Amino acid sequence: MRPNIPAFRDHVLLAALPDVAENGWRWASLEKAAQSCDLQDDMHSSLFPNGLVDAVAHFSDYIDRAMLKKLENIPTSSLRSKDKVRAAILARYDILTPYKEATKATLAFWAMPNHVIQGQRVLWRSADRIWTWAGDTATDYNRQTKRALLSSILMGTNMVWIGDDSENNIVTQAFLDRRLENIMEFGRTIGTIKKVVPNLFRQAK
């Protein structure tokens, strides 16, 4: 029987997060976590072949998957796109709440110069999953624009959420609402321009 690699990754990751919260992202945290999960020697190296970058990226992937699972119970037929995106982001923060210190360590990890590009890719992946769940099916420039803007929103809102000790994260919610309204206003503006000056958006043949 082939080992369930994704499940092993999740187990090791979750076992490592308490140490990450206290000491930041270290390979030693994964080694200790693998031992606590009774994995074979050095198996954590097979689970995360690119080292800490793989492990930290997997943390985001784990949260994304938990977010999408949580969203399965949310009725969306009457929600606007902005409301769906908002619900997804807030669901993500609900899941991240027990891991707030580990999230702080994660933001610090991705802020390091040699990790910035990979961190942007991970953020883009989360934005793509949120927009896809929200029903976005665009395939043109609009798809890229939406995900780039949402990546920016996620980055800024993460920083607010990390320091937010208000009840029910009211400060974070207010910040998020303002940023999302900016995105919607941008979308309306682009839509108007496309109607007024359609040739700007006509693909060359």
Question: Over the stretch 90-139, which tens digit does the pLDDT of each residue have?
Answer: 999 999 999 999 999 999 999 999 999 999 999 999 999 999 999 998 88
Alpha-carbon gap, residue 195 to 15, rounded angstroms = 53
What is the tens place of the pLDDT at every residue in 42-90? 666 678 989 999 999 999 999 999 999 999 988 888 899 899 999 999 9
Q: What does the block give as tokens for 43?
A: 């198996």
Alpha-carbon gap, residue 111 to 6, rounded angstroms = 26
Q: What does the block give as tokens for 42?
A: 């050095």
Q: 129 or 194: which carries more pLDDT confidence? A: 129
Q: Record the pTM.
A: 0.85
